[in-house]
Amino acid sequence: MDTFEIFRSKDEGRAWDKMLICFRDYNFQQKYSFGEYEKSKGQEIFRAVLFKGGQSVVMGQGILRRPFPYFSLLTIRRGPVYQATDSEKANLNNLRTFLRLMISYFRARNKLLYINCLFPNERSVTCEIAIREAGFTKPLLERSPHLTTVVTIEKDILKNSKLFHSKWRNQLRRAESLRPVFTWGNSEDLLNTYVKVHNSMCKLKSMQNYSISREELFSLREMLSDNIHFLIGKHDDQAVCGCLVITLGEKAFYYYAAANSIGRKYYFSNAMIWKLIEKLNEIGISELDMSGIDPIANWGGYNFKKGVGGKLIAYQGEWEYVSSWLLKLILNLYQLQKTKNLYN
């Protein structure tokens, strides 16, 4: 028997994460404490699970907004997760059921409804059919290509170095010849240093909309605790590059990365990735998701991440359920304007 349950209690956080880690498509944005991080910024968090015979088979956590009475907007990033069994047919049947029950739950309480899901699984026709059968459609306008590259962290990391593209490897050698020093951890000093490097890069590239605050990262670190890691690279005792990585289970996610003018000039980011692979290997991580590539809007970032030698993946991507076509048009135009403002 299928049971659709809403999670409400803070005390259920440990139970939520214990279930989450059993899914093959688990990720940090579905972790309970990441939802609590969003809640600390004033967001309302929605969590639901589909149980079949007492076993969790689909889970979804997202941000719920209520602009006015009887109108709900739900955004689920990297979810719902549904790969609970070895049978893709059973998994997709469960996903379809979850999506339909979630729609029914909100339709019973709202006159207007918008649900936006960014599915984390690799793109497939059978999954698209299941999503469409549940009542979801693609957005009118694409806001992201939903592409990434995933690096398998080998137990013998020298195997990873052999996968580096030749130009990328040459840049790494040049960086290593200058003997950069790297520090790994999640201390407040590393957090403060990363913010400075990140915002320096944003200023250098005229990307002030992507600047971050110390308070934002401090809150993220407070919520995710030991799942947050900083790697800072220095040359001549000056911070030149850094990254923030989130780990969960055997997976790592390249959440933020930055390099200042010196870091970019001497390819210290290449040395940072090589050191990151080493550190992730030491703590038992087997997979590094480079967290998005866009060969058109950000060719440099795409080329850099591709050079690491990971597997190029197309996500199932963004889908939405909307209670009316007029609402769909209005919200899509609004989202398009927000995206343009972010890049301007």
Could you give the angle at which helices 188-204 and 214-224 cross, rounded to 10 degrees? 140
What is 2-136's CATH number? 3.40.630.30
- What is the reported pLDDT for 11? 66
Distance CA 279, CA 260 (A): 22
Full pLDDT tens readout for the chain, 344 residues: 789 999 876 667 889 999 999 999 999 999 999 999 999 999 999 999 999 999 999 999 999 999 999 999 999 999 999 999 999 999 999 999 999 999 999 999 999 999 999 999 999 999 999 999 999 999 988 888 899 999 999 999 999 999 999 999 999 999 999 999 999 999 999 999 999 999 999 998 888 788 999 999 999 999 999 999 999 999 999 999 999 999 999 999 999 999 999 999 999 999 999 999 999 999 999 999 998 999 998 899 999 999 999 999 999 999 999 999 998 898 888 877 776 555 55
| Structural contact between residues 135 and 343, judged by C-beta atoms closer than 8 angstroms | no
Q: Return the structure tokens found at 333.
A: 């135009």
Task: For the chain, give the secondary structure using H, E and C.
Answer: CEEEEEECCHHHHHHHHHHHCCCCCCCHHHCHHHHHHHHHCCCEEEEEEEEECCEEEEEEEEEEEEEECCEEEEEEECCCECCCCCCHHHHHHHHHHHHHHHHHHHHCCCCEEEEEEEEEEECCHHHHHHHHHCCCECCCCCCCCCEEEEEECCCCCHHHHCCCCHHHHHHHHHHHHCCCEEEEECCHHHHHHHHHHHHHHHHHCCCHHHCCCHHHHHHHHHHHHHHEEEEEEEECCEEEEEEEEEEECCEEEEEEEEECHHHHHCCHHHHHHHHHHHHHHHCCCCEEECCCEECCCEHHHHHHHHCCCCEEEEEEEEEEEECCHHHHHHHHHHHHHHHHHHHC
Is the Cβ–Cβ distance between 214 and 222 less than 8 Å? no
Question: Per the structure block, which two tokens stand in for 187?
Answer: 């201390």
The pair of structure tokens assigned to 217 is 């990262």
How far is Cα 241 from Cα 268, in angstroms, rounded to an integer?
7
Evaluate whether 127 touches 119 at the Cβ level (below 8 Å). Answer: yes
**pLDDT at residue 182 in the model:** 98
The CATH classification number of 149-313 equals: 3.40.630.30
Characterize the bridge pairing of strands 55-68 and 251-259: unpaired
Query: Which segments of the chain belong to CATH 3.40.630.30?
Result: 2-136, 149-313
Kindly state the tokens that stand for 41. 């910024």
Q: Are 290 and 254 in contact (CB under 8 A)?
A: yes
**Rounded Cα–Cα distance for residues 283 and 289 (Å):** 16
Q: How many of the other CB atoms lie within 10 Å of CB of 211?
A: 14
State the pLDDT at residue 204: 87
CA distance 113 to 73: 6
Those residues with Cβ within 8 angstroms of residue 196's Cβ, 6 or more apart along the chain or in another chain: 239
